[in-house]
Amino acid sequence: RTLLSLVREAKELHAMA
């Protein structure tokens, strides 16, 4: 996975929380 996609997932998880 690219770093960009990891950052995107982290942002989404944080937003959901």
Partner 1 sequence: LVSKIMAPVTSDLLDHTTDDHGTWCEVVGRSMEVMSHLSGAQGETGAKLRHEISSCTEAIRTLSRILGCNKCKEEMRQRAIWILTRLYTDTIGISGSFEYSCCGEDFVRMLVNIFTQDNEYSSSIRGYAGEALSNICFLGGISDATLIIQTSGDVINSLTQVLLHEENETCRQASAEILECLCTHYTKDDEYLHKLKKAILKVIGKILCCGDGTHNGEDIESQCDGTQENNEPNKDAQGFQVETLSTMSSNLLSSLLCLCGTVYNTSSVIDLRPQLDASSFLNNLRDMVVKRSGPTVENLSVCKAAGNMVISMLKYYSGGFFKEDNFGSLIEVLSSASKKMLDLDYSMVCSS
In whole angstroms, give the CA distance from residue 7 to residue 15.
Answer: 12
CB of 9 to partner 1, least distance (A): 6
Backbone angles phi, psi at 2, to 5 degrees: -80, 160
DSSP string, 1-17: --HHHHHHHHHHHHHH-
**Residues 1-17, interacting with partner 1 (CB under 8 A):** 1-4, 6-7, 9-11, 13-14, 16-17
Nearest distance in Å: CB 12, partner 1: 9
What residue ranges bind partner 1 (CB under 8 A)? Answer: 1-4, 6-7, 9-11, 13-14, 16-17
